[in-house]
Amino acid sequence: MTNYVVYDVFTDAAFGGNQLAVIPDATGLAEDQLQRIAREFNFSETTFVYPPTDPAHTAKVRIFTPTMEVPFAGHPTVGTAIALRDAGATGNIILELGIGPIPCTYLGDRAAFTVTAPLERFSEPDPDLIATALSLPADAIDLDAHAPVQASVGLPFVLVALKDRAALSACQPVTDAFRQGAARHPSHLDFAIYVYVRDGDAIDARMFAPLDNIPEDPATGSAAAALASFLTDRSGQAQNLSIRQGEDMGRLSIIGAQTTLADPIPVTISGQAVRTMSGTLTI
């Protein structure tokens, strides 16, 4: 018998934010069960917690989407940190993820982690393909801000600036166009698109990854980290962003993303999480 808990992450209220299943002690599970369990929950991610490899750290965490294991993701890191706090963890903790040890801190009712992976740029997908994939006219993309770019600080996303909030609300993913993008620009995620509108330090965003069984994600901390790092690198200025995501889905999420000027660029992602369910796996 293996226990699980479910949290809504990047929200202070139940039934908002992004759902996360956490298996606090996965040591009794067989390797071939992990992907099946993640698919059964069918959240954008499920985390499996193990004893740390390094006894100086707090825990080893493996993250699965419904279709694959990923080395890093934001809302699972925040949600798992808060789940460990609720189970008795105090002070600063260190989680071993696929991209290496990630320090996490508790700031009142929030958890924060800092990632220092170097910003990687993989490609600049054709804006016309992006527009087709999102069911938008080509002129909805804000090329004056920057061309679409596939970038990563642990997990790759195509970062796309739009001209206004109406265009963001109008986005509808077209799976065939995503397949074309994935064929042209292969990566660990299958052409996941993170699209946003900026007003000063306020960001409204949406994320679509239909080829990874995530038609739309209500909160994507790893994409927020990639965007914050990219904007810092592009502008030469530290960022202090407040990102609203999931609003068009009825699951509003609030993500904090702060950077400082260093090489590589440190990005701190912060947010709240609310426990909504608990239970036992009977497999």
Residues annotated as catalytic are 45
Q: What residue type is assigned to position 2 of the chain? A: T
Number of neighbouring beta carbons within 10 Å of residue 35: 16
End-to-end CA distance of the chain: 7
Closest CA to 229 of 253, 188, 260: 260
Question: Per the structure block, which two tokens stand in for 1?
Answer: 């018998």
Q: What are phi and psi of 28, to 5 degrees?
A: -90, 0
- Distance between CA 283 and CA 280 in Å, rounded? 9
- Distance between CA 6 and CA 17 in Å, rounded? 12
Residue that has been written with the tokens 């924060």 in this structure: 112
Specify the DSSP element, H or E, that contains 33: helix 31-41
Number of neighbouring beta carbons within 10 Å of residue 201: 12
- Distance between CA 186 and CA 46 in Å, rounded? 23
How far apart, in Å, are the Cα atoms of 202 and each of 13, 104, 152? 21, 24, 21
